[in-house]
Amino acid sequence: MESVTEQRKKKILSCIQPSGIPTLGNYLGALKNWPPLAEEFDGAFAVADLHAITVRQEPAKLRRQTAEVLALLLAIGLDPDKTIIFVQSQVPAHAQLAWVLNCFTQFGEMSRMTQFKDKSAAHADNVNVGLFAYPVLMAADILLYQADLVPVGADQKQHLEIARDIANRFNGIYGDVFTIPDAYIGKSGERVMSLQNPEKKMSKSDPNPKGTISIFDAPEVIMKKVKSAVTDSEAKVRFAEGKDGINNLMGIYSCCTGLSMEEIEREFDGKGYGDFKVRVGEAVVEELRPVRERYERIISDKAYLKEVAEKGAEAASGIADRTLKKVMKKVGFWIP
Ligand code: ATP
Ligand code: LTN
Burial class of residue 22, CB neighbours in 10 A (0-12, 13-18, 19+): buried
E strand residue ranges, the chain: 11-16, 42-47, 84-87, 149-151, 182-184
Distance in angstroms (rounded) separating the CA atoms of residues 267 and 279: 11
Minimal-distance CA residue to ligand 2 atom 5 = 15
Residue 61 a catalytic site member: no
Q: How far is CA 85 from the centre of its chain?
A: 14
Distance in angstroms (rounded) separating the CA atoms of residues 111 and 116: 8
pLDDT digits (tens, 9 = 90+) for 58-93: 999 999 999 999 999 999 999 999 999 999 999 999
Cα→Cα distances 225→248, 249, 284, Å: 14, 12, 11
Residue 224 a catalytic site member: no
* Cβ(51) – ligand 2 distance below 6 Å: yes
Query: For the whole model, what pTM was predicted?
Result: 0.92
N- to C-terminal Cα separation, the chain: 26
The total number of residues shown for the chain amounts to 336
Please tell me the number of Cα atoms within 13 Å of 116 on its side-chain side.
Answer: 19
* Residue of 137, 155, 197, 244 to mutate, ligand 1, most atoms within 8 A of C-beta: 155
Ligand 1: nearest atom to the Cα of 190: 29
Residue 217 contacts residue 225 (beta carbons within 8 Å): yes
179-193 mean pLDDT: 88
Measured in Å, residue 116 CA sits from the centre of ligand 1 at: 14
Mean pLDDT taken over the chain: 94
Measured in Å, residue 113 CA sits from the centre of ligand 2 at: 14
* Cβ(88) – ligand 2 distance below 6 Å: no
Q: What is the phi-psi region of residue 318: left when phi exceeds 0, alpha when psi lies from -120 to 50, beta otherwise?
A: alpha
pLDDT digits (tens, 9 = 90+) for 20-48: 999 999 999 899 999 999 999 999 999 99
